[in-house]
C-alpha cells in the first residue's frame, strides 16, 4: 500500500463488533467510512460518537447511511462518498447482518429475503461496488460467527454465516489477480447488548460454557484486533482463511 492514509469501509458500524472495529481502525490512524442503517436511534448516536473520536484522533470519518440489503442503497452510498471526496477504499469489512430469531421451519418468505438480502446478496453487492475503488494490496474481511459451524436453536443466521465463509474462499480466488486479499473472522460468543437475550435463548450452551470455568464471552475489541491485523501488511500470507477466535472454548473437558 502507498504511504497515504488508508480508508476502511465498515458495514454495520453502529454498534457491537462493528463499532469496536471502527474504534480500532480510528486508533490505528485510518480514515473510516461508517455504514449504518437507521438515521435515528442508538445506532445513529453511536456513529456520531465515532465521528467525534475520529476528529479527536485527526482522521476522517464519513457517515454512510444505507441498507446493505438494498443494492440501490449501496450504489447511492458509493456515489455520495465519491462526492465527499473518497477516491479509494483500501479495506472493506463486511459486518452487517440481519435475521429473525426463530426455527428454520418457521421462516416466512419475508424472513428468507431478509436473511439472503443482507448476509449474502448484500455482501456480494458491497464487494462488487467497492472493488473498483480498491487498489492492489487492499483487503476484504467478513465477520462470521459460531452459528456457521455449530447448530444453535432459533438461529437461522448461522446458515448465512456458513455461506459467508464459503464466499470468502470464492472471492479470494476471484480477486487474487487484482492483488486483493479476502479473509474472515469467526468469533465465539461476543459480549454485546444481545448477550442477555442469547443466554435466555441458549441456556444449555451457555450453561455448559460457564460450567467449565473458563472465560467464554469475548470482548468486541478482541475481534476488532484480529480484523485490523488482517488488514495490515503483517498478514500478507493469509488468504481465503477464516480465523477462528473462540477464546479457547471447547478445548477443556
Domain that holds residue 138: 7-245
pLDDT for 51 equals 98
In-domain check, residue 62: yes
DSSP state letters, 130-193: HGGGPPTT-EEEEEEEGGGTS--TT-THHHHHHHHHHHHHHHHHHHGGGT-EEEEEEE-EE-ST
* Contact partners, residue 85, CB within 8 Å, separation at least 6: none
In-domain check, residue 252: no
pLDDT under 50: residue ranges of the chain = none
* Total of domains in the chain: 1
Residue 195 to residue 197: CA distance in whole angstroms: 5
What's the whole-model pTM score? 0.92
DSSP state letters, 189-217: EE-STTHHHHHHH-HHHHHHHHHHTS--E
C-alpha to C-alpha distances, 194 to 35, 98, 164, 179, nearest whole angstrom: 20, 13, 21, 37
pLDDT for 213 equals 60
In-domain check, residue 1: no
The CATH number of whichever domain residue 231 belongs to comes to 3.40.50.720
Q: Which of 161, 170, 159 is nearest to 188 (CA)?
A: 161
In-domain check, residue 40: yes
Residue-wise pLDDT tens digits, 159-196: 999 999 999 999 999 999 999 999 999 988 887 776 66
In-domain check, residue 153: yes
Residue 120 to residue 151: CA distance in whole angstroms: 19
Q: At what angle do helices 157-175 and 123-130 cross, to 10 degrees?
A: 30
In-domain check, residue 198: yes
In-domain check, residue 2: no
In-domain check, residue 75: yes
- The secondary structure of residue 91, as a DSSP letter, is E
pLDDT for 3 equals 66
Residue 24 to residue 28: CA distance in whole angstroms: 6
For residue 204, which phi and psi values (nearest 5 degrees)? -65, -50
pLDDT for 155 equals 86
- Whether 145 contacts 125, CB under 8 Å: no
Amino acid at each position: 500500500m502507498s504511504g497515504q492514509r488508508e480508508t476502511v469501509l465498515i458495514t454495520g458500524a453502529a454498534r457491537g463488533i462493528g463499532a469496536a472495529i471502527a474504534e480500532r481502525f480510528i486508533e490505528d490512524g485510518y480514515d473510516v467510512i461508517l455504514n449504518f442503517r437507521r438515521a435515528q436511534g442508538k445506532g445513529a448516536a453511536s456513529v456520531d460518537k465515532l465521528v467525534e473520536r475520529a476528529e479527536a484522533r485527526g482522521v476522517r470519518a464519513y457517515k454512510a447511511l444505507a441498507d446493505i440489503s438494498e443494492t440501490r442503497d449501496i450504489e447511492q452510498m458509493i456515489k455520495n462518498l465519491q462526492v465527499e471526496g473518497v477516491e479509494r477504499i483500501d479495506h472493506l469489512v463486511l459486518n452487517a447482518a440481519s435475521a429473525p430469531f426463530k426455527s428454520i421451519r418457521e421462516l416466512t418468505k419475508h424472513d428468507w429475503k431478509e436473511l439472503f438480502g443482507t448476509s449474502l446478496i448484500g455482501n456480494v453487492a458491497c464487494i462488487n461496488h467497492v472493488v473498483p475503488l480498491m487498489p492492489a494490496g487492499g483487503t476484504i474481511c467478513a465477520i462470521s460467527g459460531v452459528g456457521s459451524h455449530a447448530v444453535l436453536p432459533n438461529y437461522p443466521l448461522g446458515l448465512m454465516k456458513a455461506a459467508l465463509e464459503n464466499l470468502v474462499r470464492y472471492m479470494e480466488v476471484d480477486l487474487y489477480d487484482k492483488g486483493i486479499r479476502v479473509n474472515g473472522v469467526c468469533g465465539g460468543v461476543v459480549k454485546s447488548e444481545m448477550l442477555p437475550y442469547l443466554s435466555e435463548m441458549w441456556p444449555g450452551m451457555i450453561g455448559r460454557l460457564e460450567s467449565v470455568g473458563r472465560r467464554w464471552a469475548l470482548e468486541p475489541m478482541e475481534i476488532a484486533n484480529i480484523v485490523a491485523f488482517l488488514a495490515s501488511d503483517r498478514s500478507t500470507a493469509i488468504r481465503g482463511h477464516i480465523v477462528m477466535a473462540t477464546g479457547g472454548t471447547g478445548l477443556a473437558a
